[in-house]
Structure 1
Amino acid sequence: MLLYNVTLILEDSVAEEWLQWMQDIHIPQVMGTGMFASHRLLKVLDSPNEGVTYCAQYVADNLALYNEYQEKYAPALQAELNERYKNRFVAYRTLMEFVG
């Protein structure tokens, strides 16, 4: 199993609106692709960065599903995020494997 983690550092001025958008629109769209088994959304409490930091995490059963998501769905979903919150956030994406 794999964990796809998206860490976003948002400007304070858009953090509340972004959180609502994530919960109401973006996460349901990502989960609606059928590529992930589960998800969670976390707020980083001890971030050294200015602004508000969140981690959106999605669990994929295997690399094939993750790769399919990246090829078929991620570009459009990321474009929507970039368009909606242009220049108001920084995102870091990592793929991790469960080992224990």
Structure 2
Amino acid sequence: MIVFNETIKIDETIHQEWLAWMKEVHLPNVMATGKFTEHRVCRLLHDDEDGGVTYAIQYYSPDMETFQQYQQEHAAQLQRSHMERYKDRYVAFRTLMEMV
């Protein structure tokens, strides 16, 4: 099982709207690709002195081949829609892991 983790720190003033958009629009679009079997959204519990709110979103893919298909066929468009909507209001990094 491959776990694709996106850690996103979003501006505190818009994080509730962002979370609603993620749950109602973005996450369903990612899952509609058929490349992930499930996802989870977690909020980091630490206080951020910079005023942002940090979330970790994990997507579970059955194997590396399926994940690579997602990367090649869908990732750029989905990431672009997020970037265009929230430009300069977030920072993000991605991590790819394997369950052991």
Q: Residues 91, 49 of structure 1: CA spacing in aligned structure 2 closer, same or farther, 3 A cutoff?
A: farther
Q: Describe the superposition over 1:34-76 as per-residue Cα deviations: whole angstroms up to 9, x where unpaired.
A: 0001100010012556200001100000001100101110000
**Aligned residue number for residue 31 of structure 2:** 31
Q: Residues 79, 37 of structure 1: CA spacing in aligned structure 2 closer, same or farther, 3 A cutoff?
A: same
Give the RMSD, CA atoms, in angstroms: 1.0
One-letter identity of the residue aligned with 2:94: R
**Aligned residue number for residue 17 of structure 2:** 17
The yes-or-no answer on 1:64 pairing with 2:26 is: no
The yes-or-no answer on 1:52 pairing with 2:74 is: no
Tell me, in whole angstroms, the C-alpha distance in 2 between the residues paired with 1:29 and 1:16: 19
Q: Residues 13, 38 of structure 1: CA spacing in aligned structure 2 closer, same or farther, 3 A cutoff?
A: same
- The alignment of Structure 1 onto Structure 2 pairs a total of residues equal to 99
**Aligned residue number for residue 93 of structure 1:** 94
The unaligned stretches of length 5 or more in structure 1 are: none
TM-score normalized with structure 1 length: 0.95
Tell me, in whole angstroms, the C-alpha distance in 2 between the residues paired with 1:47 and 1:59: 27
